[in-house]
């Protein structure tokens, strides 16, 4: 899996944790199903992704390996944070790479929950990611991660999720 580090990328996302089960949820009713909010570093191996997508595999190993899909550092409840309009900041090695708001995402959480629950029961504990915040991925600027880089994702009202890129496997 050493190739994963050739074009290793971060993706700044806010995620909601489902607290109340439901299916076929309307956009208007989506908020009542949210238990809380957390930060999601949806790591991506872009070189692996480029090989997988033409084969129709989807982003399989490009999104799923030991150390990917990092959540944390805590869960903020809806009375503590309006995740529909939260400030999101991304820094790599102390350099700010983006500052965005969850309200500027392509799809709202009302849309995401309504879509995800079509003919499907969403259950407590399930996590739904927002998709990448504007400017929240290195692929947008062609700047990928290197061994030792420190990624800091901050969402006001939640805190800071810090990850350091590990060493290449032997």
- Tell whether the model's pLDDT for residue 82 goes beyond 60: yes
**H helices then E strands: how many in the chain?**
2, 10
pTM score:
0.88
Q: Does 169 reside within a domain?
A: no
21-47: average pLDDT? 93
- DSSP tag of 169: P
- Tell whether the model's pLDDT for residue 36 goes beyond 70: yes
Q: Mean pLDDT for the chain?
A: 89
Q: Does 170 reside within a domain?
A: no
Q: How confident is the model at residue 160 (pLDDT cuts 50, 70, 90)?
A: very high
CA atoms within 13 A on the CB side of 151: 29
pLDDT digits (tens, 9 = 90+) for 5-30: 578 889 999 999 999 999 999 999 99
**Domains of the chain: total:** 1
Q: Does 87 reside within a domain?
A: yes
pLDDT at residue number 3: 43
Closest CA to 45 of 61, 57, 34: 61
CB 40 within 8 A of CB 15: yes
Q: Does 48 reside within a domain?
A: yes
Q: Take residue 96 and report the two structure tokens written for it.
A: 């700010």
CATH classification at residue 158: 3.90.850.10
- DSSP tag of 167: P
- Tell whether the model's pLDDT for residue 158 goes beyond 90: yes
Q: Does 21 reside within a domain?
A: yes
Q: Does 118 reside within a domain?
A: yes
DSSP strand E in 43-92: where? Answer: 44-45, 70-76, 87-92
Provide the H-helix boundaries in 32-141.
46-52, 109-116
The whole domain housing 83 covers: 2-164
Provide the edge-to-edge strand list for the sheet that holds 12-18. 70-76, 34-41, 12-18, 127-129
pLDDT digits (tens, 9 = 90+) for 95-146: 999 999 999 998 999 999 999 999 999 999 999 999 999 999 999 999 999 9
Q: Does 81 reside within a domain?
A: yes
């Amino acid at each position: 899996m050493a190739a994963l580090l050739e074009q290793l990328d971060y993706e700044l996302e806010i995620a909601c944790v489902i607290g109340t089960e439901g299916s076929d949820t309307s956009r208007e009713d989506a908020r009542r199903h949210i238990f809380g909010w957390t930060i999601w570093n949806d790591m991506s191996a872009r070189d692996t992704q480029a090989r997988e997508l033409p084969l129709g595999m989807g982003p399989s190993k490009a999104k799923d390996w030991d150390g990917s899909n990092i959540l944390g550092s805590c869960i903020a409840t809806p009375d503590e944070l309006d995740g529909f309009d939260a400030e999101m900041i991304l820094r790599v090695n102390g350099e700010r790479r983006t500052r965005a708001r969850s309200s500027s995402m392509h799809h709202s959480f009302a849309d995401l929950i309504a879509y995800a629950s079509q003919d499907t029961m969403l259950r407590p504990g399930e996590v739904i990611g927002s998709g990448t915040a504007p400017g929240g991925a290195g692929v947008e600027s062609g700047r990928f991660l290197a061994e030792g880089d420190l990624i800091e994702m901050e969402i006001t009202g939640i805190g800071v999720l810090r990850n350091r890129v590990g060493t290449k496997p032997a």
